[in-house]
């Protein structure tokens, strides 16, 4: 019987099955050899693993990585277990996520003995404040005042709204959209940069916006526009208050995960909206940190000392948490109501009537938090509600697929949205 195996993309191997994209379109037939060019095509369509045949003279080479020593594996499980303490590890889905997270943690610890996940980072911060009292007093914040102050710093640029309007108008041509985008030189540069990046690896250099838009499509354009706009708006928050790269890595990964989860369900066609929701879901935290840095620092300490969720500490300290603050800002930005609700209910999706849309962002946030992809300040892994699992019909295979795809897609989109934000 023919020997086959699921494998990462490696040139020279031979496909054992036809490879399709999410919509069932054939990307490459069984029997075709994997080339660098084919890998680029798979990458564009989000295929990270394929089924390959064993060579005639031997076995399929394993995805070789050195084994993790037992001692490191146990330590990783202990650290991850502490962060999972509010989750039910008897639930098979939760346990699978715990195992994936522990394995990643162990691998990171092996490759980098100085690896600092959220646990270690937060401990360092707390030690700075040894001896100081925990939270002193409680004061409700005036959310409207915070939003007003934030809006004075800037709002989403006009180009954002004009581009959305143009895309949503069936009468608009690509030339018209290109004409709108070309008025913003930063945005134009980002679009051309994406098209000419390794993500597409085209032989020819694309030097016109119309051509670029024809290649990337309007959905991808909206992703870039919203991402670049949001990142640039908060770029002046000092690094001593929050690690912005880590914050945006968490947010971009959450957006990527939410888009993947949404695309998994055939009835959801606007997967791109989920990316934007994931991207912006914790933006309220930036508003709180920017306006109330001292109080927020107190909250960080309290989270570790009392082993509570950051959003709970925010609510108790300020009378509102970051999801409420972020949703108010999104509302002021005139973002669509569905998107506002996904931000508002990303920690408590069952509170929203339609439930399933916030549930996707909720799960995406928990996944990237558990896997320690970036960090927006939350220390403990939020609880995966059984209702969310039931509603989204989650299973272990889907989890594995989403995690692989996040790893596969994140670097490119992070580079475009954040990595070049200072350019
Ligand atoms: Fe959050
Ligand atoms: Fe988050």
402 in the same domain as 312: yes
Q: Please count the other Cβ atoms lying within 10 Å of the Cβ belonging to residue 105.
A: 26
Q: Does residue 281 sit in the same domain as residue 362?
A: yes
Higher pLDDT, 9 or 126: 9
Domain presence at residue 197: no
* Total number of domains constituting the chain: 2
Q: What is the pLDDT of residues 22-56, one digit of tens each?
A: 555 677 888 888 887 777 677 666 666 677 776 66
Asked whether residue 29 falls in the same domain as residue 124, the answer is: no
Q: Which ligand is nearest to the CA of 375?
A: 2
pLDDT (0 to 100) of residue 131: 38
Q: Are residues 36 and 88 part of one domain?
A: no
User: Is residue 123 over pLDDT 70?
Assistant: no
Starting from the CA of residue 376, give the closest ligand. Answer: 2
Backbone angles phi, psi at 353, to 5 degrees: -60, -50
Nearest to 279 by CA among 256, 244, 252, 242: 252
Instruction: Check whether residue 18 and residue 79 sit in a common domain.
Output: no
Coil vs helix vs strand at 179: helix
Q: Range of 352's domain?
A: 72-153+234-423
Query: Rounded to the nearest whole angstrom, what is the distance from the C-alpha of residue 322 to the centroid of ligand 1?
Result: 7
CA distances from 120 to 109, 125, 304 (A): 12, 9, 11
Residue 116 corresponds to which tokens in the numbers above? 């600092």
The answer to whether position 95 is within a domain reads: yes
pTM: 0.76
Same domain? For 23 and 141 the reply is no
Q: Check whether residue 304 and residue 244 sit in a common domain.
A: yes
Query: Looking at the domain assignment, is residue 167 inside a domain?
Result: no
Q: Are residues 49 and 82 in the same domain?
A: no
- 31 and 85 co-located in one domain: no
Q: What is the pLDDT of residues 176-218, one digit of tens each?
A: 999 998 888 878 888 887 787 765 667 778 889 898 888 888 8
Measured from the alpha carbon of residue 246, the closest ligand is 2
Q: How far is the CA of 142 from the centre of ligand 2 (A)?
A: 23
Question: How far apart are the C-alpha atoms of 225 and 221, rounded to whole Å?
Answer: 6
- The CATH number assigned to the domain holding 29 equals 3.90.105.10
Report how far ligand 2's centroid is from the alpha carbon of 251 (Å): 7
User: 198 in a domain, yes or no?
Assistant: no
CA of 326 to the centre of ligand 1 (A): 9
Ligand whose nearest atom lies closest to the CA of 348 = 1
> Rounded to the nearest whole angstrom, what is the distance from the C-alpha of residue 247 to the centroid of ligand 2?
9
The reply to whether 249 falls in a domain is yes
113 and 24 co-located in one domain: no
pLDDT per position as a tens digit, 271-295: 767 888 999 999 999 999 888 888 8
In a domain, 218, yes or no: no
CATH code at 287? 1.10.3210
Could you give the 3-state DSSP secondary structure of residue 14? strand
In a domain, 323, yes or no: yes
- What are phi and psi for residue 133, nearest 5 degrees? -65, 155
Mean confidence (pLDDT) of the chain = 80
pLDDT at 16: 81
The stretch 400-419 carries a mean pLDDT of 82
43 belongs to a structural domain:
yes
In a shared domain, residues 45 and 91: no
DSSP labels, 366-394:
HHHHHTT-S-SS--SPPP--HHHHHHHT-
Same domain, 264 and 378: yes
């Amino acid at each position: 019987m023919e020997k086959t195996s699921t494998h990462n993309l490696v040139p020279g191997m031979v496909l054992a099955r036809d490879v399709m994209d999410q919509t069932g379109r054939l990307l490459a037939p069984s029997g075709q050899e994997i080339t660098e060019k084919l890998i680029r095509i798979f990458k564009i369509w989000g295929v990270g693993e394929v089924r390959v045949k064993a060579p005639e003279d031997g076995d399929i080479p394993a995805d070789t990585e050195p084994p993790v020593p037992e001692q490191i594996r146990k330590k990783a499980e202990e650290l991850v277990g502490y962060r999972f303490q509010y989750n039910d590890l008897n639930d098979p889905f939760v346990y699978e996520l715990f195992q994936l997270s522990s394995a990643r943690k162990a691998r990171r610890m092996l490759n980098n003995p100085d690896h600092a996940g959220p646990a270690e980072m937060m401990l360092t911060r707390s030690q700075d404040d040894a001896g100081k009292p925990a939270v002193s007093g409680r004061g409700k914040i005036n959310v409207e005042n915070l939003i007003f102050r934030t809006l004075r710093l800037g709002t989403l640029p006009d180009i954002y709204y004009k581009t959305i309007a143009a895309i949503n108008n069936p009468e608009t041509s690509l030339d018209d959209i290109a004409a709108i985008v070309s008025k913003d030189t930063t945005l134009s540069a980002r679009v051309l940069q994406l098209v000419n990046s390794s993500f597409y690896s085209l032989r020819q250099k694309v030097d016109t916006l119309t051509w670029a838009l024809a290649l990337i499509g309007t959905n991808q354009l909206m992703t870039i526009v919203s991402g670049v706009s949001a990142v640039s708006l908060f770029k002046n928050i000092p690094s001593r208050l929050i690690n912005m790269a880590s914050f945006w890595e968490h947010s971009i990964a959450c957006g990527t995960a939410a888009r993947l989860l949404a695309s998994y369900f055939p009835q959801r066609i606007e997967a791109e909206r989920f990316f934007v929701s994931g991207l912006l879901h914790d933006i309220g935290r930036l508003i709180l940190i920017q306006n109330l840095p001292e109080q927020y620092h107190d909250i960080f300490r309290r989270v570790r000392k009392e082993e509570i969720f950051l959003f709970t500490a925010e609510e108790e300290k300020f009378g509102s948490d970051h999801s409420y603050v972020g949703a108010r800002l999104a509302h002021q930005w005139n973002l669509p109501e569905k998107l506002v609700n996904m931000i508002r209910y990303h920690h408590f999706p069952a509170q929203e009537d339609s439930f399933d849309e916030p549930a996707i962002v909720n799960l995406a946030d928990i996944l990237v938090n558990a896997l320690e992809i970036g960090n927006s300040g939350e220390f403990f892994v939020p609880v995966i509600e059984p209702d969310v699992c039931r509603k989204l019909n989650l299973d272990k295979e889907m989890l594995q697929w989403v995690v692989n795809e996040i790893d596969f897609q994140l670097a490119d989109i992070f580079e475009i949205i954040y990595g070049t934000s200072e350019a």
